[in-house]
Amino acid sequence: MKKQTAVEWMVEQVELISNNKTLSKKDAVKLYDEVIHQSKAMVNEQIMEAYMKAKLEHIDTLGLNAQKNKIIKDTEQYYNETFKD
């Protein structure tokens, strides 16, 4: 099964909430807020995973541990500089 992107997951969740006629408006709004919050977290995770994967694909197998730690640090720095407010 293909892994869903954050956007695909969010659309699916919004459709489920929208189609649930038993929810009150207040409950629906609360669920929408939770879906938005979770979607943002998923996007951030997917960005970091993609960046790290790209970096790791370019590493020689020699000295992998030192390079891996540097990539993890670089990934966190890239994310913080690019996406953190």
Per-residue pLDDT of the chain (85 residues; tens, 9 = 90+): 778 899 999 999 999 999 999 999 999 999 999 999 999 999 999 999 998 888 777 665 556 777 788 888 998 999 899 887 6
DSSP state of 23: S
Whether the full predicted model's pTM is greater than 0.85, yes or no, is: no
Token couple for 43: 């996007």
Q: Is 35:6 a contact under the CB 8 Å cutoff?
A: no
How many Å apart are CA 5 and CA 50, to the nearest integer?
Answer: 12
